[in-house]
Amino acid sequence: MNDISNKTIVILLFVAMGITLIGTIATISRLGYIERSYGVVTGALPGSQNGTGTSTLTVIAFAAISNDFNTIQFGSGYTNNSGGGPCVMATNNKAGTSTSGMIFSNVTTCVSFNNSNDKGFLLENTGNVNISVNYTCSGSCIATTFIGGATSDGFPFFELAISPKTVANHSTPEVGSNDTAMSCGNRFNNGSSGGNGGNFERNNSNINQSYFNVSVGGQFLCGSAAEYPLESVDTQDAFVINLNVSLPRYVVPGGAKTATFTFNAFASG
Amino acid sequence: MKKKVSRKRNAVRSNAVRSNDISVRTVMIVLVIVILVSIASLGIYVDALQQFQDRMMQQGMLITDLTQAQGHASIEIIAPPNTEGDAP
């Protein structure tokens, strides 16, 4: 077979370049066509100016969850070991020594941390079916990795506690209208041991309810794999997860630590 | 004898063709241009696709996983300004 001349190679290259350009232009214009064609869903009859017709709209059941307050920053700081006790920072009023901002049990022990954040995560059922909710955690999810340093006097702690939104008095607005009744049948995980559902307490009207340790594997917060008590009704579809970070007086400095919580919604079927 | 003459003729013809041909350097330049155009096209396409997906997301037409939500908690423990005499 004779060798192909350079002229032929150049022609082939130009053909390849043309194909590339035409392909790109065609693909981009196709994307524009899809957007123009399906960009607006109106339910109107296609191509009809007058006359009557029937449009069918089927609302399907879907499970959805949103975290309406998804960042809790304890900030950067240190402990003053001449303070009277451990540094306890909680996003609810458990410590009860401050009336605004993040609660500090010992203002003299907690130094320069962020006290502007007094809200926990706000989870809301934004779907149209009842759900159960669990969580998993990645990153620095246990006290010794989130806070660091050796434990002393039973510290550090990295814990969570759950309240209905109406009890937690969270000021962040919900996606739907704000709750007026306790969600999840007022029955949330309180961290105590028990069988399926046995670790869920009722009458959870006191915001100073039980805290329990954050863990990597997580657990159900409301409901279970078989029960879906978090209603989709707007007036009782949200709850708050408060965090409690307790530092010993002698805490070893470490880098910035982040715990990422993933909240999962489950529905029957 | 006939074969030798034929070879000579072929060589002369080949040289003549080569003298009219485009240089290897030109071929290489065009090749580089083709590669650059391909890369640019790919970049334009990926950018357009990303913009398209963003617009679709804004219009709620692309369904993402709605059954998950994330939350982040962060803290940083720093050293006190003066640690002298603070050892436990």
pLDDT tens per residue across span A113-131? 886 667 899 999 999 999 9
Determine, yes or no, domain membership for A47.
Answer: no
Which residues form the domain of A201?
65-266
Instruction: Give the tokens for residue A207.
Output: 């915001």
pLDDT in tens, A104-114: 555 677 888 88
- Cβ contacts below 8 Å, chain A against chain B, sum to 166
pLDDT at residue A133 in the model = 94
Contacts of A152 in chain B (CB under 8 A): 88
Residue A163: name the closest of A102, A243, A100, A241 by CA. A241
Minimum distance, in Å, between the CA of residue B1 and any CA atom of chain A: 24
pLDDT at residue A100 in the model = 38
pLDDT at residue A95 in the model = 45
Rounded average pLDDT per 10-residue block, chain B, 88 residues: 65 64 86 89 86 72 73 92 56
* B57 Cβ neighbours under 8 A, 6+ residues apart: B64
Percent of chain A that is helix, strand, coil (3-state, to 5): 15, 30, 55
CB B69 within 8 A of CB A67: yes
- The single residue listed with the structure tokens 């920072």 is A89
Among B21, B73, B76, the residue with its CB nearest the CB of A6 is B21
Determine, yes or no, domain membership for A218.
Answer: yes
Determine, yes or no, domain membership for A178.
Answer: yes
Task: Name the B residues in 41-80 with CB < 8 Å from any A CB.
Answer: 41-42, 44-45, 48-49, 52, 55-56, 59, 61, 66-80
| CA–CA separation, B35 and B29 (whole Å) | 10
pLDDT in tens, A33-73: 776 666 555 555 555 556 677 777 777 788 999 999 999 99
Spell out a b/e string for A181-209, using b for 16 or more CB atoms within 10 Å of the CB, else e. Answer: ebbbbbbbbbbeeeeeeebbbeebeebeb
Contact criterion met (CB < 8 Å) for A259 and B73: yes
* B65 Cβ neighbours under 8 A, 6+ residues apart: none
Determine, yes or no, domain membership for A157.
Answer: yes
DSSP state of A147: T
User: In chain A, pLDDT over 90 holds for what percent of residues?
Assistant: 27
| Highest mean pLDDT, choosing among A49-58, A76-85, A228-237 | A228-237
Element (H, E) at B19: helix B2-20
| CA–CA separation, A194 and B10 (whole Å) | 95
Question: Nearest residue of B to residue A79 by CA position?
Answer: B80
Q: Is B38 on the interface with A (CB under 8 A)?
A: yes
Determine, yes or no, domain membership for A97.
Answer: yes
pLDDT band, residue A202 (cuts 50/70/90) = very low
Contact criterion met (CB < 8 Å) for B71 and A67: yes
Contacts of B24 in chain A (CB under 8 A): 6
Q: For the residues A195-215, what does the mean pLDDT come to?
A: 57
CB atoms near residue A242 (< 10 Å): 26
* A36 Cβ neighbours under 8 A, 6+ residues apart: none
| pLDDT at position A263 over 90 | yes
Q: What angle do CA A230, A232, A235 make, to 5 degrees?
A: 95
pLDDT at residue B55 in the model = 76
Question: Nearest residue of B to residue A132 by CA position?
Answer: B67
What does residue A160 show for φ and ψ, rounded to 5 degrees? Answer: -135, 155
Is it true that the peptide bond before B81 is cis, omega within 30 degrees of 0? no
Among A80, A146, A266, the residue with its CB nearest the CB of B75 is A146
| pLDDT at position A97 over 70 | no
Question: Nearest residue of B to residue A264 by CA position?
Answer: B68
| pLDDT at position A216 over 90 | yes
Instruction: Give the tokens for residue B7.
Output: 């070879």
Among A62, A126, A254, the residue with its CB nearest the CB of B77 is A254
| CA–CA separation, A238 and A182 (whole Å) | 8
Residue A239: name the closest of A164, A174, A187, A150 by CA. A164
| pLDDT at position A167 over 50 | yes
Number of domains within chain A: 1
Determine, yes or no, domain membership for A27.
Answer: no
pLDDT band, residue A80 (cuts 50/70/90) = confident
What's chain A's average pLDDT? 79
